[in-house]
Amino acid sequence: MKLFLLHGPNLNLLSIREPEVYGSITLDEINQHMLHVGIQHDVEIIPFQTNHEGEMIEMIHHAHEEADGIIINPGAWTHYNYAIRDALASINTPTVEVHISNIYQRESFRHQSVIAPVVIGQISGMGWYGYELALLALLHHLRTQR
């Protein structure tokens, strides 16, 4: 089984950007942890981060042919990016949306997710551990749907 682990804009700055909100863990540390958890569950994890909308859309399109599921932290794209929303809706690949911070406890513009209606679930506010929870939830979904 193969899962894409997609990170949106500014997540490459984890540990630098607002550590009081996002913590001190780096994106590389999250990816390494997820690779390890993937091995424990016999799943190949393909991590990818971009600050460019078109690159993210291309990876989502690739997931249609290459991945069994997606874990995505769309970052700021969560709140307004209909192109990424439409890409996810178009491919019908089970996807879980992740946010390190609780977007519903933050500024009001962050309370809306245009991504949430086209994914199987959302995990928000559990810190970096939300990625592992997303993996477990996605695996449960995939294994019960077969």
Instruction: Let me know: does 98 contact 130? Beta carbons within 8 Å.
Output: yes
Q: What is the rounded CA–CA span in Å between residue 56 and residue 73?
A: 11
99 catalytically annotated: yes
Residue of 7, 22, 64, 82 marked catalytic: 22
Residue of 41, 64, 79, 99 marked catalytic: 99
Q: What is the rounded CA–CA span in Å between residue 139 and residue 120?
A: 12
22 catalytically annotated: yes
* Contacts with 93 (C-beta within 8 Å, 6 or more apart), sequence order: 63, 64, 67, 68, 69, 70
Query: Would you tell me how many other CB atoms lie within 10 Å of the CB of residue 65?
Result: 8
Positions annotated as catalytic residues are: 22, 99
